Amino acid sequence: MDPLMTTTAAIDKPTRIWAISLAVLCVGIVAYGVIYSKNTTSDLAFLFGYNLPIGLVIWGIFQVAVGRKQGTKKGGLSFMAIFAALIGGSLVGYSQQRSAATQAVTEIQQSYSSITSAANDAQGMPQRIEGNLDATPKTKGEFGEMERFMKIFMNKMAAQRNDYLLEIDAIGWENILDPSRVSQDRTLIESKMMIQKAKDIVHKYKTQTYTLLANARNDINSLNISESSRADMLRGFDKGMTNSRSQIDTMWDLEGKTISEFENIFVLLSARKDAWAVQNGQILFADQSDLDAFTSYVTAIQELTAKQQAIQKRSIETVNNNFNRLK
């Protein structure tokens, strides 16, 4: 055998081992990013800073194991290859995370839309929501956990709302101003009892709303997600609660004020019991000032209902805009 060929082969063998090992390592780094990365940013400045110390550690191990005798030039080349693989894996991981996040947000938005569209009838009045959302996530991994959590939470909110409407309906609230009912309640004791029951129901479910939200925060702590994701989710939840608390209070306050306006009507009817009568399916007043007062209370009820509907509409628009920005 030619001595020159023998020497070349002896020199090339360590180089080939080095090159093959480096290639396998870089492929492994990228594959890890594809499979396991939870990176949620494409900011190169952040990725450079984040991956630099990791790259130095991996490169140091690689140099000790394979590259000790390959010289400075190859040492620099191996570091650049490892660092590039880390950046590439992070970007691929970001792309996959972004795709999973978009899918999860889309699923949650569709579920939200199905609930909000079923919450009111054709006239915009509240009605019970039939059925439950399928909480099985369509997304995998952490975003799947978040998707499942949100669907379960929406089911709980819908169930609580249904229970509220059932209790209100059970006391006959829908017919509280029905002239035929009022005509049979000349002492108005039944009407006053209905008013008090309605107040108690509003107080009960306002309290339960905040209990449900507090429990939701606790549920986030039990999700099978990383600590960083949990911290981000809790931070977002708390921020959302800060923005939503006043709106929730306003909605329940409007519900309470509506009941108070009904109470005003029955205070009027009770105080002027000999100055009104039910005829031809209507409550008729002998005095114009009594009629004006009655009309003002009914108008106030209609305005309070319109305010509730406007808040609900704005809320739905805001939530959907937020969903769209996340996608």
Q: How many residues does the chain have?
A: 327
Q: Which pair of structure tokens corresponds to residue 284?
A: 């008729």
SS3 letters for 108-144? HHHHHHHHHHHCECCCCCECCCCCCCCCCCCCCHHHH
- List helix spans (H) across 65-188: 71-118, 141-170, 179-183
* Residue 265 exposed, middle or buried by CB count within 10 Å (0-12, 13-18, 19+): buried
Torsion (CA) 306, 109, 157, 166 in degrees, nearest 10: 60
Q: Report CA 63 to chain centroid distance, whole Å.
A: 48
Q: Provide the residue-wise pLDDT of the chain in tens; the chain has 327 residues.
A: 444 344 444 456 677 777 777 788 788 888 877 666 666 666 777 777 777 788 788 887 877 777 666 767 777 788 788 878 887 877 777 777 788 888 888 998 899 899 888 888 877 788 888 888 889 998 888 889 999 999 999 999 999 999 999 999 999 999 999 999 999 998 999 999 999 999 999 999 999 999 999 999 999 999 998 888 888 889 888 888 877 888 889 999 999 999 999 999 999 999 998 899 999 999 999 999 999 999 999 999 999 999 999 988 888 888 888 788 776
Interatomic CA distance for residues 158 and 130, integer angstroms: 9
pLDDT of residue 63: 77
Q: Which pair of structure tokens corresponds to residue 276?
A: 């009104």
* Structural domain boundaries in the chain: 3-98, 178-327
pTM over 0.85: no
